[in-house]
Amino acid sequence: MPSVPLSPETLVRARRLALENAITHGGLPRAGPIVARLLGTDPTLRHDAPAVQAAVEATLREIAALSPEARSAALAALGGAEASTPRAVTSEEGTFPDLIGALPGKVVLRMAPFPSGSLHIGNARMLFVNEYYRRKYDGRLLLVFDDTPGSEEKRVDLEAFDLILGDLELAGIHPDAVYYKSDRVDKFYPWAHRVIARGGAYVCVCPAETLRENREAGRACAERLQTVEQTLEMWERMLSGGFAQGEAVLRLRTDIADPDPAFRDRVLFRINEQAHPRVGHKYRVWPMLEFSWAVDDVELGVTHVLRGKDLVVEDRMQQFVWKLLEIQGPPFLHWGLLRVREAKISKSKSYREVKSGLYDGWADPRTWSLRSLDRRGISMDACRRFTLSFGMSLSDIEVPAETLYAENRKRIDPMTPRRAFVAQPVRVDVDDYPAELRTVGLPNHPDRAELGVRTVPAGPSFYLARTDLETRLGLEVRLKDLLNVQLPDRLAPEASHLSARFTSRENKRIPRLQWIGAEGATPVDILEIDGTHRTGTGERALLDAAPRDIVQFERVGFVRFEADWSTGSRPVRVVFAHG
């Protein structure tokens, strides 16, 4: 047995190659060539060759019972054969394969978020890929809240239902119907009875630790020998209160020696006596999510399931249940994990920090929620384009946040006015300052004359950034787009002002400094991505902006005015978006 289980991606490749070979040659392939191809194309698997061999053999046993049509459907659900490129649509939004058997107007898709908080950038693929295919096929998109009880670290939160509905509204996605698993628990019990009646499940009373150890060791517990009648009797005891929480679970009877320990006799139902945020104590026996999917993907008429490849084990369990009950379920299409390098996402951590008050709600930039991106001025259209640009690749992808920012910059840069801001401002009084330059007209955008010109107060007094001054003492510098001054030789660490001397208006090749005219200057507070605050001084024109306006602070980056900021109030409160 391998020390580390094979990755979901490797298991998917093994299944794809086996199906491809079986379809091509009209029979059941041998494990050897498939194992050789896996090891030959991924040298990192060579130290796990026995595990690869076992996984391939298990896959071959599974597909042996499939009809030719079922094999073709299963291969298509995995994106087609590796040896050839499946028909797909490629555009600026990426490459997307056709949905197997999809008919315009007949496609039904579903999103199934767990309601423990606001949706974040890591959930974007679920949103925008499902919406892409819904529009492509003029289909229906269901929102199915996976609100069965989770762990202590992953709790159903009542507020999250409305948060997620608001997130979808923000993203411009309007589901055709909304369902709650907590309203459908009664519908899962008859399915459990059918699985038991087929000999596919048994009630296990092993302690959780023993269950875990047995599964890892491939060792059956005594209850696995139950008859159907015994299991049905114990199942009724579970439903009627004969067992307390943690005393019994209903387990699926799979291959106890399956190469993937996670697939060995998985739990189908467990007892949870805690109050549910929506339905209270109405139910005490709850399905695990993958069993509820096996039921709802059929009963809700879902035609295609689109989700991450990390749920391949869940796919297998759904297919196992469908095969046991002789039901044809929908095919699966997967994508790989998409990470934004700078986004350290942990919904459980964000939940704790939001509830404790450490974070400024779910729109705090540190959550990387869709709400936080919108608060920063990153449009949902940029998020959509960013997400779809990777298509349906099965490869795990990690990209810098700049990739997302570049998409957003393309949308906001042409229409965003420029404004001046300086951090750690020091007042500089300019001697011999030209009286006619008390005000100056500056373009709102360097490349868009149609955005106009603003009149801003200038000298003789200015605010300049302390760091700019400290690195250029004794030099002649140019106040950007205005005039040149000679700086003094020294600046005391505690000094809040100094004097400089006007030299000329000539546009020389000398250092250029950002400035704020002291008259009408206003304090500014910038909320940074890491939750800290940067303070400084901005130009008077900032006071005329409206809440949620976006401007670019020159030499700093794009910022969005806070939604609850009142026009003209001080300090100006903005949130940093990106450079």
**φ/ψ (deg, to 5) at 238:** -60, -45
Q: Residue 516 sits in a domain of what CATH number?
A: 2.40.240.10
Q: pLDDT tens, 303-314?
A: 999 999 888 888
Answer yes or no: is pLDDT of 434 > 60: yes
Do residue 65 and residue 145 come from a single domain? no
Per-position b or e across 182-219, b if 16+ CB within 10 A of its CB: bebbeebbebbeebbeeebbbbbebeeeebeebbeeee
Q: pLDDT tens, 515-547?
A: 999 998 999 999 999 999 999 999 999 999 999
Give the total residue count for the chain.
Answer: 579
Do residue 149 and residue 72 come from a single domain? no
d(CA 141, CA 109): 5
283-300: average pLDDT? 96
Detail the DSSP E strand segments found in 388-482: 397-399, 418-419, 421-423, 425-431, 439-443, 453-457, 461-465, 476-479
Do residue 111 and residue 148 come from a single domain? yes
Q: Where are the alpha helices (DSSP H) in 435-565?
A: 466-470
496-519: average pLDDT? 94
Q: Are strands 305-308 and 285-287 parallel, antiparallel or unpaired?
A: unpaired
Radius of gyration (C-alpha) of the chain in whole angstroms: 31
d(CA 91, CA 27): 37
pLDDT of res. 44? 60
Burial class (CB in 10 A: 0-12, 13-18, 19+), 67: exposed
Residue, of 313 and 501, whose pLDDT is higher:
501
Do residue 99 and residue 73 come from a single domain? no
pLDDT over 90, % of the chain: 71
Do residue 323 and residue 358 come from a single domain? no
pLDDT of res. 5? 65
Range of weakest confidence among 40-44, 427-431, 455-459, 504-508: 40-44
Beta bridge partners of 369: 120
Give the model's confidence band at 277: pLDDT under 50 very low, under 70 low, under 90 confident, else very high: very high
Most distant pair of Cα atoms in the chain: their distance: 101
Do residue 280 and residue 347 come from a single domain? no
Average pLDDT of every residue of the chain: 90
DSSP 254: -
Range of weakest confidence among 63-72, 246-255, 278-287: 63-72
Q: Where are the alpha helices (DSSP H) in 145-227?
A: 158-171, 185-197, 208-217
Give the model's confidence band at 348: pLDDT under 50 very low, under 70 low, under 90 confident, else very high: confident
Answer yes or no: is pLDDT of 506 > 90: yes
Answer yes or no: is pLDDT of 322 > 80: yes
pLDDT of res. 533? 97
**φ/ψ (deg, to 5) at 578:** -175, 170
Residue 396's domain spans which residues? 340-413
Domain count, the chain: 4
Task: Give CA separation, 148 vs 151, 168, 190, in Å.
Answer: 10, 21, 17
- What are the structure tokens assigned to 303, written together? 């035609």
Do residue 171 and residue 256 come from a single domain? yes
340-349: average pLDDT? 88
Q: pLDDT tens, 52-85?
A: 888 888 888 888 878 776 777 777 667 555 533 3
pLDDT of res. 92? 56
465-482: average pLDDT? 95
Do residue 235 and residue 310 come from a single domain? yes
Residue, of 394 and 283, whose pLDDT is higher:
283
Range of weakest confidence among 34-43, 284-293, 504-513: 34-43
Domain ends where: 86, 118, 152?
86
pLDDT of res. 1? 35
pLDDT of res. 217? 86
Q: How far apart are the first and last CA of the chain?
A: 50
Contact criterion met (CB below 8 Å) for 85 and 36: no
Contact criterion met (CB below 8 Å) for 124 and 94: no
Give the model's confidence band at 576: pLDDT under 50 very low, under 70 low, under 90 confident, else very high: very high
d(CA 431, CA 410): 42
Do residue 444 and residue 545 come from a single domain? yes
pLDDT of res. 579? 94
Q: pLDDT tens, 172-225?
A: 999 999 999 999 999 999 999 999 999 999 999 988 888 888 888 888 888 999
Determine the number of helices (DSSP H) and then strands (DSSP E) in the chain: 16, 29
Q: Residue 360 sits in a domain of what CATH number?
A: 1.10.1160.10
Give the model's confidence band at 89: pLDDT under 50 very low, under 70 low, under 90 confident, else very high: very low
Burial class (CB in 10 A: 0-12, 13-18, 19+), 373: buried
Answer yes or no: is pLDDT of 42 > 80: no
Domain ends where: 86, 112, 137?
86
Range of weakest confidence among 265-274, 388-397, 472-481: 388-397
pLDDT of res. 236? 97
**φ/ψ (deg, to 5) at 65:** -85, 0
Q: Is the bond preceding residue 113 a cis peptide, omega within 30 degrees?
A: no
In what side-by-side order are the strands of the sheet with 201-204? 201-204, 249-252, 267-271, 285-287
pLDDT of res. 79? 58
Beta bridge partners of 266: none
Domain ends where: 315, 335, 355?
335
Do residue 244 and residue 313 come from a single domain? yes
Q: Residue 121 sits in a domain of what CATH number?
A: 3.40.50.620
Do residue 233 and residue 374 come from a single domain? no
Detail the DSSP E strand segments found in 424-466: 425-431, 439-443, 453-457, 461-465
Do residue 132 and residue 242 come from a single domain? yes
